[in-house]
Amino acid sequence: MAIRWQRPTVDTKFHIDMEWWREQQRDIRLYIRDALCSECRAEYGENYRELQEVDWVDEQTGEVMRVDALWHAVCTCCSLKPDYITPNTPIIDAIFRTFLANGNKPLSVRELYERLDRRPPEVILRILTAGPTYMGIRPVYEDS
């Protein structure tokens, strides 16, 4: 019955925890704006606060959802560009941008490693679990 805390492993799923951003009272949209490509930044960067939500159709379910328009731009445009994540992107930003690009679908450290191919999974796990939470990237806790 009780939820037992388990030490995260390379197979534990992580995601961007929006609750963390609320708790920290930090604006995730500032960071999403940083992930915009130069064209989108020119188009939305100045007045991104006015940009609210757009309809987005889930290709798998056909369900229509309201999503943040900035985030939507990242998913459909900026993340497809070659300089979205470069070898010079700090690893934690690269992980954050990976979740932005996939609509924040949970990924394990092993899956992040396969996408980023940068550091060994054990190192990524240590970055995400030792010390403070970065960019709200936390394990997905499921009730059991």
Q: Which residues form the interface with Zn ion (CB under 5 A)? A: 37, 40, 77-78
Q: Shortest Cβ distance from residue 101 to Zn ion (Å)?
A: 11
CB-based burial label for 132 (10 Å; 0-12, 13-18, 19+)? exposed
Q: Shortest Cβ distance from residue 141 to Zn ion (Å)?
A: 33
Q: Shortest Cβ distance from residue 87 to Zn ion (Å)?
A: 20
Token pair 């445009």 in the structure block, residue: 77
Q: Shortest Cβ distance from residue 40 to Zn ion (Å)?
A: 3
User: Smaller CB distance to Zn ion: residue 69 or 92?
Assistant: 69
Q: Shortest Cβ distance from residue 95 to Zn ion (Å)?
A: 20
Straight-line distance from the first to the last Cα atom of the chain, in angstroms, rounded to the nearest whole number: 7
- Residue 137, token pair as written in the block: 């990237």
User: Smaller CB distance to Zn ion: residue 39 or 58?
Assistant: 39
Helix 69-76 and helix 91-101, axial crossing angle in degrees, nearest 10: 100
User: Smaller CB distance to Zn ion: residue 40 or 95?
Assistant: 40
CB-based burial label for 6 (10 Å; 0-12, 13-18, 19+)? exposed
User: Smaller CB distance to Zn ion: residue 69 or 127?
Assistant: 69
d(CA 53, CA 48): 11
User: Smaller CB distance to Zn ion: residue 40 or 107?
Assistant: 40
CB of 103 closer than 8 Å to CB of 75:
yes
